[in-house]
Amino acid sequence: MRLIDLHTHSNCSDGTDPPAELVRRAAAAGVDVLGLTDHDTFAGWDEALAEAKRLGVGLVPGAEVSCRLGGVSVHMLAYLPDPDDAELDHTLERVREGRNARVPLILDRLREHGIDLTPEDVAEQSRAATSLGRPHVADALVARGYARDRRDAFDRWLSEGRSGYVTRYAPDPAEVIGQVRAAGGVCVLAHPRGRSSHRVLTDEVIGDLARAGLAGLEVDHRDHAPEVRARLRELAGELDLVVTGASDHHGVGKTDHDLGCFSTGEEEFARLLDRARSAAERSGRKTPAPYLP
């Protein structure tokens, strides 16, 4: 049985390891197939793939697309789409622009609360990132002694409802499912009952997303208690959705998310690849092949 971990972040977004280093760490942790799913960017694919081939580690290229539904943040994992698809690229570009534009606004808010953090402080923490996030501001707060760690920075200032919180553009999840399918890829709803998304992702809404073309549900994730996982597994069965599990590893940026701590079963992985193949054929796009040695 291979250890299949389909949701991880490199420093192209808010993980702390460069893509090649992430692949090396995955190999060392015994991961056989790694999904690279940086927030709203495909920037790490090439570097990760080269290292995966060198080490003989499987790689499934993807991204975690930031969506919003009913004012609540919802994350959509997108696997194996054509990275050059114009419409999908336009959506991701818009999200990244929103991410970049938000940082100075966050710094303004923080300044009103007596915190003196400069754009350079944030740049220092996000040199390699194509996709900026609050975790980079959190790292800057830590570096300047305003917080102990990322979590502390979020709890004090950056989480929704805290004084440094600023909203940004995020597309509708059903719309993203359509775009990813048109680009020949498949979507898996990330940690649907995690943090805030449990407020909007009712069984009914997940049913609607399934009818819109969602391929799978990320069931086994740190943010889900065992009874939540059991219920989601049942729901996936009812809706004919693939069940995945993953670490959502962020390097040292998140504790309790070690590589391979949750994983996807072989059968479910095969079903996901099947659906990706069908989507690729239907779309007629030039989609990336997963690297599976």
Residue closer to ligand AMP (CB basis): 151 or 198: 151
How many residues touch Zn ion under the rule CB under 5 A: the total is 1
| Residue 77 token pair | 């994992």
- What is the footprint of Fe ion within residues 194-253 (CB under 5 A)? 248
Per-residue burial over 72-97, b = 16 or more CB atoms within 10 Å of its CB, e = otherwise = bbbbbbbbbbbbebeebbebbeebbe
Instruction: Please report, as ranges, the residues that interact with ligand AMP according to CB under 6 A.
Output: 14, 39, 133-135, 150-151, 154, 159, 250, 254
Residue closer to Fe ion (CB basis): 190 or 205: 190
Region near Zn ion per CB under 5 A, out of 9-17, 119-127, 165-173, 271-279: 9-17
User: Of Zn ion, Fe ion, ligand AMP, none, which one does residue 134 interact with (CB within 5 to 8 Å by kind)?
Assistant: ligand AMP
User: Of Zn ion, Fe ion, ligand AMP, none, which one does residue 151 interact with (CB within 5 to 8 Å by kind)?
Assistant: ligand AMP
| Residue 291 token pair | 């690297």
CB 277 within 8 A of CB 293: no
User: Of ligand AMP, Fe ion, Zn ion, none, which one does residue 150 interact with (CB within 5 to 8 Å by kind)?
Assistant: ligand AMP
Region near Zn ion per CB under 5 A, out of 8-16, 90-98, 185-193, 266-274: 8-16
- What is the footprint of Fe ion within residues 135-194 (CB under 5 A)? 190
For residue 98, give the nearest of 180, 176, 179, 170 by alpha carbon: 170
Residue closer to Zn ion (CB basis): 38 or 47: 38
CB 72 within 8 A of CB 200: yes
Residue closer to Zn ion (CB basis): 14 or 139: 14
Q: Out of 12, 16, 75, 224, point to the residue binding Fe ion (CB under 5 A).
A: 75
Phi-psi region of 171 (alpha: psi -120 to 50; beta: other; left: phi over 0): beta
Residue closer to Fe ion (CB basis): 190 or 210: 190
Region near Zn ion per CB under 5 A, out of 6-14, 124-132, 174-182, 217-225: 6-14
Residue closer to Fe ion (CB basis): 36 or 210: 36
- In one-letter notation, the amino acid at residue 88 is L
Give me the least distance between CB of 133 and ligand AMP, in Å please.
3
The number of angstroms, rounded, from the C-alpha of 104 to the middle of its chain's C-alpha atoms is 23
Give me the least distance between CB of 39 and Zn ion, in Å please.
5
Side-chain-facing half-sphere of 211: CA atoms under 13 Å: 5
Give me the least distance between CB of 250 and ligand AMP, in Å please.
6
The CA distance from 235 to 238, in Å, is 5
Residue nearest to Fe ion (CB): 75
Residue closer to Zn ion (CB basis): 14 or 268: 14
The CA distance from 188 to 37, in Å, is 11
Q: Kind of pairing, strands 72-79 and 186-189?
A: antiparallel
Residues contacting 235, CB < 8 A, separation 6+: 203, 206, 217, 241
In three-state form (DSSP H/G/I as H, E/B as E, the rest C), the secondary structure along 250-279 is ECECCCCCCCCCCCCCHHHHHHHHHHHHHH
> Quick one: DSSP state of residue 35?
E
Per CB under 5 A, 14 contacts Zn ion:
yes
Q: Which residues contact Zn ion by CB under 5 A?
A: 14
Q: Which residues contact Fe ion by CB under 5 A?
A: 64, 75, 190, 248
